[in-house]
Amino acid sequence: MAGCIPLSREMLRDPIDIGVPDAPLDFARARAIAEARARQEAADPMLLAWYDRGAGRFSPQVTCCGDDKPAWLIYAESRGGDLVIDINGEAYVFVYRRTL
């Protein structure tokens, strides 16, 4: 993510916050928690993008950066991402699209 805009809370649209105080919290567990919460909000949510701050990873691996948000977040929003799950204060962020 070198040279790209770092994620901040203000960039997220109406995030659902989840705090997971017990350790360890790795990507696989964070994703399972986010998936379960997303299914409470929508019958068939589609994961469009994710961010793992600790590992410095994100998906999709968009090569360009946005002007005011990380490109992976712009990608998700431009494809209908309307359900944001924020775990442990942007440690992990998952963006879903509610599907019909």
Span 6-48, pLDDT tens digits: 899 999 999 999 999 987 899 999 999 999 999 999 999 999 9
Residue 66 lies in a domain: yes
Of the chain, the end-to-end C-alpha distance in Å amounts to: 33
Per-residue model confidence as pLDDT tens digits over 38-54? 999 999 999 999 999 99
Q: What is the CATH number of the domain that holds 47?
A: 3.30.1490.340
Residue 56 lies in a domain: yes
Give the residues across from 46 on adjacent strands. Answer: 97
Residue 86 lies in a domain: yes
Instruction: Provide the H-helix boundaries in the chain.
Output: 27-41, 71-78
Give the residues across from 86 on adjacent strands. Answer: 17, 93
Domains held by the chain: number: 1
Residue 4 lies in a domain: no
Residue 2 lies in a domain: no
Asked if 15 and 85 count as a contact pair (C-beta separation under 8 A), the reply is yes
> What domain range is 26 assigned to?
9-97
